Amino acid sequence: MSNQQWKAKWRRNDIAFHQDAVNPLLQQFWEELELPEGSVVLVPLCGKSLDMGWLATLGFRVMGIELSDIAVQDYFAALDVVPIRARHGRFAKWKHGNTEIWRGDLFDLTAQDLSEVRGLYDCAALTALPADIRIRYVEHITKVLPPGCQMLLMTTESPDDTQADSALEIDEEVAALYSAGYTVELLYGKARIKIDPEYPDEPAASFDEKVYRIRPRPVQDAA
C-alpha cells in the first residue's frame, strides 16, 4: 500500500489491525532484550498501539513513527493528554511524558534521528509491508539504527506445509532479511487458527504466530 492508501485507511477508520489491549507476547518477551530502564525504544509503523503506553509505563522512552495524523491524535486523546508539537525536518513530533510519536514516513529517518535508540519493537510493521518493501524497510532501518540496537519482532506467518511444524522454525525470509549483521532467534512460535479481522467473512485461517529476538552480531562475525 502507498502512503496515501494508509492515510485513507485511517480516514475510513478501516483499522482492524488495531488491538484494544496490550500484546501479551510483548509483555511476556520484552525483558528478553534486557534493556535498561530509560532506554529509547523505536516503534516503527506504530499506529495508535497501546503497546507504546505499556513500554512507557515501564520507564522506557518511546519513539513511535507513524504516517497518519489521525493515529497520533487518537493515541494521545485516548490517554486524555495534550502533547507538545514541534517540527523536525519532514516530521511533526508529538510528545507527552516519555512518549514521542513522529508523524511522517519511516524512510525519511536518519541515523542522527535515531542516535539514542537502544531497542526496536516491531509489531505489524515488517509484516504490514509487501515483500519488496520489506527488503527496503530492513535495509533502511538497519542502516540508520545505532550499532548495538536489538529488536523484538512479532510476526504472523503462513504455515509452511513442507515442514512438520513450521511454527517452531525461523522463517527463511526473516533469517535472510537480517542475515547481514544480525542473529535471529525464535523466542516463541505457535500454530494458530483465527478469523482475520481484515476479512471477517472469510473462513478461519491457519497461521504461525512468532516472536523473534534480533541482535547485532559482534563486528568481527558480521559478514
Ligand X SMILES: C[S@@+](CC[C@H](N)C(=O)[O-])C[C@H]1O[C@@H](n2cnc3c(N)ncnc32)[C@H](O)[C@@H]1O
Residue number with the smallest Cβ distance to ligand X = 47
Q: Is 6 annotated as a binding residue?
A: no
Residue 159 has a CB neighbour count (10 Å cut-off) of 15
Nearer to ligand X, 19 or 179 (CB): 19
Using CA atoms, how far apart are residues 108 and 213, in angstroms rounded to an integer? 25
Using CA atoms, how far apart are residues 34 and 125, in angstroms rounded to an integer? 22
CB 154 within 8 A of CB 184: no
Nearer to ligand X, 128 or 135 (CB): 128
Smallest distance, Å, CB 165 to ligand X? 26
Using CA atoms, how far apart are residues 22 and 30, in angstroms rounded to an integer? 12
Smallest distance, Å, CB 205 to ligand X? 17
Smallest distance, Å, CB 164 to ligand X? 30
Nearer to ligand X, 154 or 184 (CB): 154
CB 212 within 8 A of CB 152: yes
Smallest distance, Å, CB 122 to ligand X? 8
Nearer to ligand X, 128 or 147 (CB): 128
Nearer to ligand X, 66 or 171 (CB): 66
Smallest distance, Å, CB 79 to ligand X? 16
| C-alpha distances out from residue 189 to 32, 84, 167, 186, Å | 15, 40, 5, 7
The residues binding ligand X (CB under 6 A) are 3, 6, 17-18, 45-47, 49, 65-68, 71, 105-107, 123-125, 128
Task: List the one residue out of 150, 172, 167, 129 whose CA is nearest residue 216.
Answer: 150
Contacts of 219 (CB under 8 A, 6+ apart): 147
Q: Is 173 annotated as a binding residue?
A: no
Nearer to ligand X, 88 or 165 (CB): 88
List the beta bridge partners of residue 119. Answer: 41, 150
Q: Is 30 annotated as a binding residue?
A: no
Estimate to the nearest angstrom the gap between the alpha carbon of 198 and the chain centroid. Answer: 18
Pairing of strands 99-103, 91-96: antiparallel
Smallest distance, Å, CB 185 to ligand X? 22
Residues in the annotated binding site for S-adenosyl-L-methionine: 10, 45, 66
Residues in the annotated binding site: 10, 45, 66
